[in-house]
Chains A and B, each alone.
Chain A
Amino acid sequence: MTKNLRVKSSKLIDETYKISFKFNGRTYYGYKGDTLASALLANDIHLVGRSFKYHRPRGIMTAGSEEPNGIVQLHKNTSRTEPNVRATEIEIYEGLEASSQNCWPSVNFDIGGINNFFSPILPAGFYYKTFMWPSSFWEKYEYFIRKSAGLGKSPTEPDPDIYEHKYIHCDVLIIGAGISGIIAAKTAAKNGYKTLLVDEKPYLGGSTIYQNSEHFKINNQISSSWLEKEINEIKKIKNLEIKIRTSVAAYHGYNFLLARENLTDHIPLEQRNNKIRHRLLKIRAKKVITATGSLERPLIFDNNDRPGILLSSAIEKYANFYGVACGEKNILLTNNDSAYEAAISLYQKGINIEAIIDNREEIDSKLIKETEKNNIKVYKGYTVVDTSGYKRINKVSIMQLSKDGQKVVGPKISISCDCLGVSGGWTPAVHLFTQSGGKLKFRDEDQVFIPNIYPSDQISIGSCNGDFTLDEILSTVPKTLKEFLNLKKTDYEDLEIKSSFNKSKRNIWLLPSDKIIGKTKPFVDYQNDATAKDIKLALREGFRSIEHVKRYTTTGMGTDQGKLGNMHALGIISETAGSKMGELGTTTFRPPYTPLTFGTIVGRNVGEYFDVFRKTPIHEWHVENKAEFENVGQWKRAWYYPKNGENMHDAVQRESKAARDSAGILDASTLGKIDIQGTDASEFLNRVYTNAWSKLAIGKCRYGLMLNEDGMVYDDGVTTRLGENHYIMTTTTGGAATVLGKLEDYLQTEWPELDVYLTSVTDHYATVSVCGPNSKKIVSQVIPDLDFSDENFPHMSFKNTKIGKIKCRVMRISFTGEHSYEINIQSNYGKSVWEKCMEIGKEFNITPYGTETMHLLRAEKGFIIVGQDTDATMTPIDLQMDWIVSKKKYDFIGKRSLYRSDTIREDRKQLVGLLTENPDEVLEEGAQIVADIKKSPVEMLGHVTSSYYSPNLKKSIALGVLKGGKNMMGKKLIIPMENKQINVTVADPVFLDKENKKLNA
Chain B
Amino acid sequence: MFVINCPYCGEREQSEFKAGGEAHIVRPKQPTELSDDQWAEYLFMRKNIKGIQFERWVHTHGCRKWFNVVRDTSNDLIKAVYKMGEKPPTK
B20 lies within 8 A of A253 (CB): no
- The residues of B that contact A896 with a CB separation of less than 8 Å are 31-32, 34, 39
Q: How far is the CA of A261 from the CA of B32 in the complex (A)?
A: 61
List of B residues within 8 angstroms of A744 by Cβ: 58, 64, 66
Which residues, 22 to 66 on B, are CB-close (under 8 Å) to A? 26-27, 30-32, 34, 36, 39-40, 43, 56, 58, 60, 64-66
Q: Evaluate whether A900 and B36 lie within 8 angstroms (CB atoms) in the complex, with A709-B43, A745-B58, A749-B66 already known.
A: yes
Q: Is A748 an interface residue (CB 8 A)?
A: yes
Do residues B32 and A897 form an inter-chain contact, with CB atoms below 8 A?
Answer: no
Residue numbers in A under 8 Å from B2 (CB-CB): 253-254
Q: How far is it, in angstroms, between the C-alpha of A437 and the C-alpha of B76 when the chains are bound?
A: 10
B1-23 with Cβ < 8 A to chain A: 1-3, 13, 18, 20
Contact, CB under 8 Å: B36 / A901: yes
Contact of A890 with B32 at beta-carbon distance under 8 Å, contacts A256-B1, A741-B58, A745-B20 already known = yes
Contact B65 A748 (CB under 8 A): yes
Determine if A900 and B75 form an interchain contact, defined as CB atoms under 8 angstroms apart.
Answer: no
- Give Cα distance in the complex from A744 to B84, angstroms: 13
Contacts of B18 in A (CB 8 A): 741
* Bound CA span A745–B60, Å: 11
Please tell me if the beta carbons of B58 and A252 are within 8 angstroms of each other in the complex: no
8 Å CB interface, A586-620 against B: none
Is A891's CB under 8 angstroms from B84's CB?
Answer: no
A858 interfacial contact with B, CB 8 Å = no
Q: Given A253-B76, A750-B27, A752-B84, are A897 and B39 also a contact pair (CB < 8 Å)?
A: yes
Pair B56/A749 contact, Cβ less than 8 Å: yes
Q: Is the CB of A252 within 8 A of B1?
A: yes
User: Which residues of the partner chain A approach B84 to less than 8 Å between Cβ atoms?
Assistant: 748-749, 752
A-side contacts of B34, CB under 8 Å: 896
| Cα-based distance from A900 to B44 in the complex (angstroms) | 13
Q: Tell which of B3, B31, B66, B77 touches A895, judged by Cβ atoms closer than 8 Å.
A: B31
Residues of B within 8 A of A717 (CB): none
Task: Judge if B85 is at the interface, Cβ distance under 8 Å.
Answer: yes
Give the most central of A891, A896, A901: most B CB within 10 Å: A896
Residues of A within 8 A of B36 (CB): 900-901
Counting chain A residues whose Cβ lies within 8 A of the other chain, the interface size class is 20 to 34
A455 an interface residue at 8 Å Cβ cutoff?
yes
Convert A508-544 into 0s and 1s, putting 1 for each residue whose CB lies closer than 8 angstroms to a CB of B: 0000000000000000000000000000000000000
Return chain B residues, CB-CB under 8 Å to A748.
65-66, 84
B58 touches A253 (CB 8 A): no
When distances are taken between beta carbons in the complex, the residues of chain A under 8 Å from B43 are: 709-710, 897
Residues 708-763 of A at the B interface (beta carbon under 8 Å): 709-710, 741, 744-745, 748-750, 752
Residues of B within 8 A of A709 (CB): 27, 43
Q: From residue 100 to 148 of chain A, which have CB atoms closer than 8 A to chain B?
A: none
The interface residues of chain B lying within 8 Å CB-to-CB of A254 are 1-3, 76
For window 889-906 of A, CB contacts with B under 8 Å fall at: 890-891, 895-897, 900-901
Contacts of B58 in A (CB 8 A): 741, 744-745
A521–B27 Cα distance when bound, in Å, is 67
Contact of A284 with B by CB under 8 A: yes
Check A891–B32 contact: CB distance below 8 A. Answer: yes
* Interchain CB contact under 8 A, B32 and A455: no
In the assembled complex, which residues on chain B have CB atoms less than 8 Å from the CB atom of A710? 43
Find chain A residues with CB under 8 A from B1 CB.
252-254, 256
Chain A residues whose C-beta falls within 8 Å of the C-beta of B56 in the assembled complex:
749
Total count of chain B residues near the partner, CB < 8 A? 27
A748-B65, A749-B66, A750-B27 known; A900-B40 Cβ under 8 A: yes
Distance between Cα atoms of A890 and B58 in the complex (Å): 29
> Is the beta-carbon distance between B39 and A900 smaller than 8 angstroms?
yes
A895 with B65: CB separation less than 8 A: no
Q: Are B75 and A437 in contact (CB under 8 A)?
A: yes
Q: Which of B2, B27, B65 has the most CB of A within 10 A?
A: B27
Smallest beta-carbon distance A283→chain B, Å: 11
**Cα A710 to Cα B36 with chains together (Å):** 12
Nearest CB in chain A: distance from B13 CB, A: 8
Interface string of A885-928 (1 = CB under 8 A from B): 00000110001110011000000000000000000000000000
The closest CB in chain A to the CB of B39 belongs to: A896
Which residues from chain B contact A252 at a C-beta distance below 8 Å? 1
B40 / chain A contacts, CB cutoff of 8 Å: 900
Compute how far the CA of A437 lies from the CA of B23 in the bound complex, rounded to whole angstroms.
Answer: 26
Contacts of B13 in A (CB 8 A): 284
Q: Which of A671-718 contact B (CB under 8 A)?
A: 709-710
> When chains A and B are docked, how far (Å) is the Cα of A901 from the Cα of B1?
42
CB neighbours (8 Å) of B30 from chain A are: 891
Nearest residue (CB) in B for A747 is B66
In the assembled complex, which residues on chain B have CB atoms less than 8 Å from the CB atom of A745? Answer: 20, 58, 66
Instruction: Give Cα A900–Cα B40 distance, bound, in whole angstroms.
Output: 9
Complexed CA–CA distance, A252 and B13 (Å): 13
B60 lies within 8 A of A741 (CB): yes
Closest to B14 in A: A254
Q: In the bound complex, what is the Cα–Cα distance between A895 and B84 (angstroms)?
A: 25
Q: Please give me the residue from chain B that is nearest to A745 by CB atom.
A: B66
Taking the closest CB of chain A, its distance from the CB of B34, in whole angstroms, is: 7
Per the bound structure, the CA–CA distance linking A895 and B30 in Å amounts to 11
With a cutoff of 8 Å between Cβ atoms, the chain A residues found around residue B31 in the complex are: 891, 895-896
CA distance A895 to B34 in the complex (A): 12
Given contacts A744-B64, A752-B84, A895-B32, contact A455 B75 (CB under 8 A): yes
> How distant is B52 from chain A, measured CB to nearest CB, in Å?
16
B75 contact from A253, A256, A741, Cβ within 8 A: A253
For window 263-285 of chain A, which residues contact chain B by CB distance below 8 Å? Answer: 284
A891 to B30, CA, bound (A): 8
**Alpha-carbon separation in the docked complex, A253 to B26 (Å):** 32
Cα(A750)–Cα(B2), bound, Å: 27
Interfacial residues of chain A within 167-195, with CB under 8 A of chain B in the complex: none
Query: Given known contacts A745-B20, A750-B27, A897-B43, is B60 in contact with A284 (CB within 8 Å)?
Result: no
Which residues from chain A contact B27 at a C-beta distance below 8 Å? 709, 750
**A256 to B18 CA separation, bound complex (whole angstroms):** 19
By beta carbon, the residue of chain A nearest B68 is: A749
List A residues 518-573 near B (Cβ within 8 Å). Answer: none
Q: How far is the CA of A901 from the CA of B36 in the complex (A)?
A: 7
The docked-state distance in angstroms from the alpha carbon of A749 to that of B85 is: 8
Complex contacts, B75 vs chain A, CB 8 Å:
253, 437, 455
- Closest residue on chain B to residue A902 by CB atoms: B36
Residues of B within 8 A of A256 (CB): 1
| A contact residues around B66 at 8 Å (CB) | 744-745, 748-749
When chains A and B are docked, how far (Å) is the Cα of A390 from the Cα of B83?
71
In the bound complex, CA of A976 to CA of B58 (Å)? 47
Measured CB to CB, the nearest residue on chain B to A252 is B1
Cα–Cα distance between A850 and B43 once the two chains are bound (Å): 40
- By the criterion CB–CB under 8 Å, are B39 and A284 in contact? no
Roughly how many angstroms separate A600 CA and B29 CA in the complex, as a whole number?
52
What is the chain B residue whose CB lies nearest that of A892?
A: B31
With a cutoff of 8 Å between Cβ atoms, the chain B residues found around residue A900 in the complex are 36, 39-40
**Cα distance A253–B20 in the bound complex, in angstroms:** 21
**In whole Å, how far is A762's beta carbon from the nearest beta carbon of chain B?**
15
Q: How far is the CA of A284 from the CA of B1 in the complex (A)?
A: 10
Per the bound structure, the CA–CA distance linking A702 and B40 in Å amounts to 31
Interchain nearest-CB distance for A250 vs B (Å):
11
Residues of B within 8 A of A (CB): 1-3, 13, 18, 20, 26-27, 30-32, 34, 36, 39-40, 43, 56, 58, 60, 64-66, 75-77, 84-85
Beyond known contacts A253-B1, A741-B58, A744-B58: 16 more, CB 8 A cutoff: A254-B1, A254-B3, A254-B76, A284-B3, A455-B75, A709-B27, A741-B18, A741-B60, A750-B26, A752-B84, A891-B31, A891-B32, A895-B31, A896-B39, A897-B43, A901-B36
Q: List 18 A-B contacts (CB under 8 A).
A: A252-B1, A253-B1, A254-B1, A256-B1, A437-B75, A709-B43, A710-B43, A741-B18, A741-B60, A744-B66, A748-B66, A890-B32, A891-B31, A896-B31, A896-B34, A896-B39, A897-B43, A901-B36
Top 4 closest A-B pairs, CB basis? A896-B31, A748-B66, A750-B27, A256-B1
